[in-house]
A and B are shown apart, each in its own frame.
Chain A
């Protein structure tokens, strides 16, 4: 077997790439975490919503040549509406039900959306050939779409935190996730908060999809892997802990990257899950614990 010397530059390259991937995980996981925090609903349809965001970007690019990063302005509001409608029609029925009900419901929704997508657009892999190539920074290369996606993901995550902390609706969302019944006593219409939160969560998933489409293939079941990764991120950061979702995302990207460097790319996914098991054994509430 060929022995490869691991250099400092390689490690730096991997750390940068890992963090870039992690920013995207953080964005998608924050959406899932928001929904879970407020409603205690585990949204298995999160990946399907991400896929819808990706197709939105793909079609806007394929048909009209719209810049995929600008298409965020379409995909995020559109997925917000899709999420809000799903909440109003279906999810509200399982909000205070046992968790199995919400798992089954959102699993069903996810299968439905993925199959409609297959019927409508076939299972072909499609790609958005917009940006290729890399920026060279000193000794390391950073892929252009990844860097821009990372910046966009960071910006959107920042906007989401601004919304949560600076606006009245955001404070009401946080209050509802901390004490649902007390929030009601304070005059907060939690049903309305649920609708807005599911819309926001779906919007973040859609944004994730748009960004993913600039780097990877777009197909009806592309979202699945991101649901799993989001679970990992949330378990790392603590369920319903919003800053935890952010740091958990970056951490996951980093761990995957380092594992692929020191072991093999195939093993890196396994390593992420092993890492999860260790974290759950040592700190069951997540690395940051608690809820925010």
Chain B
């Protein structure tokens, strides 16, 4: 096995009834880099995220995180190992306050430590004044930021972001991209599902391309952009 992979997906397959959502897919992710996961709608990106985080149970294959198998673990166990994620459609807890959304995350360290961390994160995205507002009352952009910092509560080593740029205005997008780059500086590994090619090209060092659940290409963004199979998958022949 090659050394130094934080996440390894080996020959993972996931079927829903007769539909194969992920098909013998393999990815290897090195620590400290930002990866992109792209592909047309329905190509299995979110299902792959669900398999990694334990929300869907893979049918075949292996998933390893820091050299340990995580494919049989429950989602909360995967989370506690150090993998955080956001969702394509924002899922903050609407009837919890902004602060409670962070405090509810399972994290080592006492209540005081957790509160301090939560406040730091709220300040980081300038939501500290809204700490006692119910998350459901926040604007779309504020909810997006809240979901993003919720991932950071546990200080995870691997962060999976499902379409962070979707529906975000340019100012907020810049803030988010800045925050993601900052994570990389801190040595985090980030895997991003994204449709916006500009975002992918500007942010990711390495890109995986899925089509019909199979990985059809991987490489640096410039190479991927010129890849014929990728163009075909996106635009047809």
Contact = CB atoms under 8 A, between A and B. Distances in A.
B125 interface: no
Q: Is the interface of B mostly helix, strand, loop or mixed?
A: loop
B220 interface: no
Interface stretch (A173-181, A207-215, A221-229, A248-256): A173-181
Contacts of B85: 185
A178 B101 CA distance: 11
Contacts of B55: 181, 184-185
B96 A186 contact: no
A269 B93 CA distance: 37
B91 A182 contact: yes
A92 interface: no
A175 to B, nearest CB: 5
Contacts of A171: 96, 100, 103-104
B76 A174 contact: no
B95 A182 contact: no
A63 to B, nearest CB: 43
A280 interface: no
B75 interface: yes
Given A168-B103, A168-B111, A171-B104, A184 B75 contact: yes
A182 B53 CA distance: 11
A200 B5 CA distance: 44
B75 to A, nearest CB: 4
Contacts of A191: 74
A62 interface: no
Interface residues of B, number: 27
A291 B106 contact: no
Interface string B53-78: 11100000000000000000011100
A123 to B, nearest CB: 43
With most chain B CB atoms within 10 A of its CB, the pick from A171, A172, A290 is A171
B94 A186 contact: no
B105 A182 contact: no
A237 to B, nearest CB: 14
Given A174-B96, A175-B96, A181-B55, A186 B104 contact: yes
Given A182-B91, A186-B150, A188-B106, 7 more contacts: A172-B106, A174-B100, A175-B101, A182-B93, A183-B104, A186-B76, A186-B104
Interface of A: 168, 171-172, 174-175, 178-179, 181-191, 290-292
